[in-house]
């Protein structure tokens, strides 16, 4: 097992370099530059200031030199200094926002698994029933609805019209002065809409995969043999069939984690949540290259780590994977 994990980690290193190189090139090929953004709207800025600005941040050097210089800093665990007026270290900015994004994505993942797996199992066991048809319609509706449209609709309905839930930020004004329990409830209310919107797409997709996987497993001979032994139906479904039907879901979750992190840019911006997604959006608009590169590097690392965890979990469940028999 250790050999399998070592091979997977060795495979991740060139992939991480490839992701950083492609993202670096795409970012510099995009229209606009930090120099134009910070100087063109100021008539008092001359050519000399532009040259000093580019020289200070190394933007006057060829792209390969800039990339190698950035990699050298990363190797020393230094992500550089932000181009924004506060000139703070990039790592400090990311470190402040990363826990919020991780919390939102963890809550979304728990909601997806807690809802999608039972829905998929019940739909498969009651195939063709009213419950199956209803959930199929709802799931496809949820899968096809754009996240930003759903977010705006819920904000208008639940937040503005009914006033049941807050529609922005993580805390109400003055929440720091509330008793601990009231402050906790205030935070929960602020998280309900972002977590739900973030989980809808994953919930719809995972429940459909779970239903398909369960349908395939319950047709296997060993499930028929379990029924022939006279075992109760719940034991056949939830003990003998469920474990094997979860195998494709374990792999799928490894690919779904990057989608959750990427989706943070949309719902954190819409709900004004001060997480990593909102920081990424603001940095792209400001052409703040060091922050963009730092977030892309961290996001790529988390994505590859998620895939590694999924592969290891799959290999633990099915030993043929780590011995290369499939």
CA distance 222 to 245: 13
- Cα–Cα distance measured from residue 188 to residue 182, given in angstroms and rounded to the nearest whole number: 10
**pLDDT tier at 326, thresholds 50, 70, 90:** very low
Is pTM beyond 0.75 here?
yes
User: Quick one: tokens of 48?
Assistant: 């000399």
Closest CA to 67 of 10, 32, 22, 33: 22
110-118: average pLDDT = 89
Report the pLDDT value the prediction gives residue 209, as an integer from 0 to 100.
84
pLDDT of residue 26: 80
What is the four-CA torsion angle of 101, 104, 105, 110, rounded to 10 degrees?
160
Per the prediction, the chain carries an average pLDDT of 82
State the number of CA atoms in the 13 A half-sphere of 299 facing the CB. 25
Confidence tier at 51 by pLDDT (50, 70, 90): confident
Report which of 115, 128, 104 is spatially closest to residue 192, judged by C-alpha positions.
104
At 19, list the tokens: 């992701």
Residues 6+ apart with CB under 8 A from 247: 213, 314, 317, 318
For residue 179, which phi and psi values (nearest 5 degrees)?
Answer: -60, 155
Which of 256, 211, 323 is CA-nearest to residue 105? 256
Percentage of the chain exceeding pLDDT 90: 4
For the stretch 12-47, pLDDT in tens is 888 888 888 887 888 877 777 777 776 666 666 677
Among candidate residues 319, 190, 178, the one with its CA nearest the CA of residue 247: 319
Question: What's the average model confidence in pLDDT over 277-292?
Answer: 86
pLDDT at residue 284 above 80? Answer: yes
């Amino acid at each position: 097992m250790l050999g399998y994990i070592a091979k997977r980690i060795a495979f991740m290193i060139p992939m991480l370099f490839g992701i950083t190189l492609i993202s670096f090139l795409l970012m510099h090929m995009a229209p606009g530059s930090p120099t134009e953004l910070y100087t063109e709207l100021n008539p008092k800025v001359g050519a000399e200031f532009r040259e000093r600005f580019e020289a200070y941040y190394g933007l006057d050097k060829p792209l390969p030199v800039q990339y190698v210089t950035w990699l050298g800093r990363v190797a020393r665990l230094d992500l550089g200094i932000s181009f924004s007026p506060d000139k703070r270290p990039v790592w400090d900015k990311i470190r402040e926002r990363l826990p919020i994004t991780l919390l939102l994505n963890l809550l979304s993942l728990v909601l997806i698994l807690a809802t999608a797996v039972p829905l998929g199992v019940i739909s498969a066991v009651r195939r063709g029933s009213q419950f199956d048809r209803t959930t199929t319609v709802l799931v496809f509706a949820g899968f096809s609805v754009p996240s930003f449209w759903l977010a705006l609709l819920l904000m208008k309905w639940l937040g503005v019209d009914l006033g049941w839930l807050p529609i922005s930020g993580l805390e109400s004004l003055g929440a720091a002065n509330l008793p601990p329990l009231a402050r906790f409830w205030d935070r929960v209310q602020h998280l309900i809409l972002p977590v739900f919107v973030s989980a809808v797409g994953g919930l719809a997709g995972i429940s459909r995969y779970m239903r398909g996987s369960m349908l395939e497993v319950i047709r296997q001979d060993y499930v028929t043999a379990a029924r022939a032994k006279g075992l109760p139906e719940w034991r056949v479904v939830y003990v003998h069939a469920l474990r094997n039907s979860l195998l494709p879901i374990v792999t799928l979750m490894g690919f779904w984690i990057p989608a959750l992190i990427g989706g943070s840019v949309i719902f954190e911006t819409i709900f004004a949540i001060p997480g990593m997604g909102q920081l990424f959006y603001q940095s792209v608009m400001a052409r703040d290259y060091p922050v963009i590169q730092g977030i892309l590097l961290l996001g790529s690392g988390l994505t590859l780590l998620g895939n590694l965890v999924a592969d290891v979990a799959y290999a633990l469940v099915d030993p043929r994977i780590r011995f290369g028999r499939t």
